[in-house]
Structure 1
Amino acid sequence: EWNYSMSIDVLGRVIEVITGQTLDEFLRTRLFTPLGMTDTGFSVPAHDADRLAALYGAHPGTRKAMLLAEAGKAALKVPSAFLGGGGLVSTMADYLRFTDMLRRKGELNGVRILSPRTVQYMTKNHLPGGVDLTSFGRPLFSETPYDGVGFGLLGSVTIDPVAAKLANSLGSYGWGGAASTTFWIDPVEDITCVLMTQLLPSDTHPLRSQLSQLVQQALVD
């Protein structure tokens, strides 16, 4: 079955062993600097501490947002280990540069990070037999159903928009975070969407599905 695991953390360590660099150095030299992602890393410098967005949690009874004052302080310290599965801190502008590179099939502003064929391969459904996550996964950490949604090397992949109850095109891909964040790319409409709401947990409000619906309804051929 498909489920969250430590696999991406293991791959991060494999990169360190092969390259002789820390994962922090590797990502900075191979991805962040070439793409101009100047505000992305595994920690926030002291001089940028006031730029760190606040994190909120939903009140158990009212679902109103409560400030989680201590939650973001870990980002102000350099971690003891750099994990491939999480821990990066970024900005909306930087993350949009990353997603735009994917939307443009591996290239941004004349800098090529991936080949078009690699992006195409990564955004295919890699679940055995071409099944969806409902058939092969566990519905953990998600406020939306997994019907009609497969999984590739860059996140979820829409394999049946009708079953998924999504307005996105066939082949759209993306993923969401615990604090109601998300990104998705629609290769047919040639658009990318990034949402950086900071609210735990992600099923407090159906923000991601509502945003997707609003964006798709606004498109005119």
Structure 2
Amino acid sequence: MMNTVDPATQGFDAGRLDWIRSWMDRYVAERKFAGSSMLVARGGDEVFFHATGERSLEENLPFQRDTVARIYSMTKPVTSVALMMLAEKGLCHLDAPVSNFIPAFSEMRALVPGATDIDQTEAAAVPTLHQLLTHTSGLSYPFNPGVLPKAMDAQDLIFRANQGPLAPLVEQLAALPLAFQPGSRWEYSVGIDVVGHVVEILSGKPLDQFFAEEILGPLGMNDTAFSVPEGSKDRFASLYTPLEGDAMALNSASTGRETLRMVDCADGSPFLAADTYSGGGGLVGTIDDYMRFAEMLRQGGALDGQRLLSSNTVEFMLSNHLPGDIASMGPQSFAEQPMDGMGFGLGGAVVLDAARARTPGSVGDFSWGGMASTFFWVDRAKDLSVVFFTQLSPSSSYPARAELKALIHAAMTA
């Protein structure tokens, strides 16, 4: 556990930090979130923590510091770290076509521009590992708009926790055409799920085992896994949505009268015994565990004497890997972050211009979130790490992330 210090010693105004408590409590009172928690660290010291509301409205159980939550796409930075650990050993390079590892991708086709049918295709290059990591591969998600997402939705290609091993899912995905020529656009996708399978192939280990032995164990993230850890079921939160239908069916989303409709009960969730190790969205864990991962990134690849990556590799990962910002690459997809003034590194977004992103932040700060409205960012310029947990899908329901960044920057005096 990190040291808890007087916020003033780390450049925070305690009174203004209380605004965060008020904001969190208001979201619960207004039935936007059932419950939430927030952890802020600066210079490796804890300066703020608050938890409010409930992890289960039905059971009247409080949302607490040790609550286990679905982090969904906040799994992506972990998987990106896993691949870079293998790249550091010379087992792969980022310009390698994915077909070098998964032959099903050997002969790819892409939808022609303006296609209205899944059969309207042309020959395409094989996506590279780099394109998979940066969402420029031509893959997509079922909840995005377009021809490919519709086909993925029809085949239920979402890498849910109960869909079985990665290999057949990835081969099923490879049989579909790409949404566009690799490298030509940015579209949020299951590319990092494919990367997770590449990690399995390169390491010779199932992804859950690689994570446990090489990342989660060394970092002391003992409450984080693809399945709710044994003995932790009573701490696992339920998932809620304000939508009438599927909480991830963004193409047909309609807001219901009930803003907190439970869609995944802690007692019956597939995350209790996951058999799909989704590198794009499969982990569950606690806020303190994820803070350890964020702090490892902030400190350049090491934490408490355990080094996962070199500082050079972390600097590389947390740099913008796109030609410009995300908006310049013609995105048509859902995304966890703003697109103007935001670049993309390996596994997360990078602030290029806070003014254009319309949210306070430092140039270079690295962040990502999950579909259940969780969020984290690492601001190395200010030695700051922030993790926010809640359980409401979709994450686009409320402008919580922009508001949280504004609240944190408002509370900083130095």
When normalised by structure 2's length, the TM-score is 0.50
Quick one: distance in 1 between partners of 2:339 and 2:327? Answer: 5
Q: Does 1:77 align with 2:273?
A: yes
- 1:150–1:158: 8 Å Cα contact kept in structure 2? yes
Task: Report the residue type matching 1:55 in the other structure.
Answer: L
Task: Report the residue type matching 2:345 in the other structure.
Answer: G
User: Alpha-carbon deviation of 1:76?
Assistant: 0.6
Among candidates 169, 176, 195, match of residue 11 of structure 1: 195
Q: 1:68–1:133: structure 2 CA closer, same or farther, 3 Å change rule? A: same
Task: Report the residue type matching 2:216 in the other structure.
Answer: F
Task: Report the residue type matching 2:405 in the other structure.
Answer: S
Among candidates 191, 207, 212, match of residue 405 of structure 2: 212
Task: Report the residue type matching 1:42 in the other structure.
Answer: F
SS at match of 2:278: coil
How big is each residue's C-alpha offset from its partner over 1:91-128, in whole Å with a ceiling of 9 and x where there is no partner? 1111111011111111111111111111100011101x
- Alignment map for 1:152-171 (pairs within 5 Å): 152-171=345-364
List alignment gaps of at least 5 residues for structure 1. none
Quick one: distance in 2 between partners of 1:144 and 1:12? Answer: 22
Task: Report the residue type matching 1:103 in the other structure.
Answer: R
- 2:227–2:272: 8 Å Cα contact kept in structure 1? yes
User: Alpha-carbon deviation of 1:69?
Assistant: 4.3
User: Alpha-carbon deviation of 1:88?
Assistant: 1.1
> Could you tell me which residue of structure 1 aligns to residue 228 of structure 2?
44
- Alignment map for 1:135-146 (pairs within 5 Å): 135-138=328-331, 140-142=333-335, 145-146=338-339
> Could you tell me which residue of structure 1 aligns to residue 58 of structure 2?
none
Which stretch has the larger CA shift, 133-142 or 36-45? 133-142
Task: Tell me: higher relative CO, structure 1 or 2? Use CA pairs within 8 A at least 6 residues apart.
Answer: 2
SS at match of 1:50: helix
User: Alpha-carbon deviation of 1:11?
Assistant: 1.8
> Could you tell me which residue of structure 1 aligns to residue 384 of structure 2?
191
Q: 1:25–1:69: structure 2 CA closer, same or farther, 3 Å change rule? A: closer
> Could you tell me which residue of structure 1 aligns to residue 326 of structure 2?
133
Q: Does 1:29 align with 2:224?
A: no
Quick one: distance in 2 between partners of 1:13 and 1:143? Answer: 23
Q: 1:25–1:58: structure 2 CA closer, same or farther, 3 Å change rule? A: same
How big is each residue's C-alpha offset from its partner over 1:129-152, in whole Å with a ceiling of 9 and x where there is no partner? 2x1111114253347531100101
User: Alpha-carbon deviation of 1:78?
Assistant: 3.0
- 2:228–2:271: 8 Å Cα contact kept in structure 1? yes
Q: Does 1:64 align with 2:248?
A: no
> Could you tell me which residue of structure 2 aligns to residue 102 of structure 1?
297
SS at match of 2:376: strand
Quick one: distance in 2 between partners of 1:122 and 1:91? Answer: 24
- Alignment map for 1:177-188 (pairs within 5 Å): 177-188=370-381
How big is each residue's C-alpha offset from its partner over 1:66-87, in whole Å with a ceiling of 9 and x where there is no partner? 22244870101131x3232221
- 1:178–1:201: 8 Å Cα contact kept in structure 2? yes
- 1:167–1:216: 8 Å Cα contact kept in structure 2? yes
- 1:143–1:206: 8 Å Cα contact kept in structure 2? no
Quick one: distance in 2 between partners of 1:34 and 1:192? Answer: 19
Which stretch has the larger CA shift, 146-155 or 54-63? 54-63
> Could you tell me which residue of structure 2 aligns to residue 91 of structure 1?
286
User: Alpha-carbon deviation of 1:220?
Assistant: 0.9
SS at match of 2:218: helix
- 1:142–1:202: 8 Å Cα contact kept in structure 2? no
SS at match of 2:199: helix
Quick one: distance in 1 between partners of 2:390 and 2:262? Answer: 13
Task: Report the residue type matching 2:327 in the other structure.
Answer: T
SS at match of 1:193: strand
Task: Report the residue type matching 2:289 in the other structure.
Answer: D
Quick one: distance in 2 between partners of 1:160 and 1:63? Answer: 38
How big is each residue's C-alpha offset from its partner over 1:36-61, in whole Å with a ceiling of 9 and x where there is no partner? 01011110145221111121111524
Which stretch has the larger CA shift, 185-194 or 10-19? 10-19
Structure of larger gyration radius: 2
Task: Report the residue type matching 1:115 in the other structure.
Answer: S
Q: Percent identity?
A: 44
Task: Report the residue type matching 1:74 in the other structure.
Answer: P
Quick one: distance in 2 between partners of 1:78 and 1:63? Answer: 29
Quick one: distance in 2 between partners of 1:205 and 1:84? Answer: 26
> Could you tell me which residue of structure 2 aligns to residue 119 of structure 1?
314
- 1:38–1:94: 8 Å Cα contact kept in structure 2? yes
When normalised by structure 1's length, the TM-score is 0.91
How many residues align structurally? 218
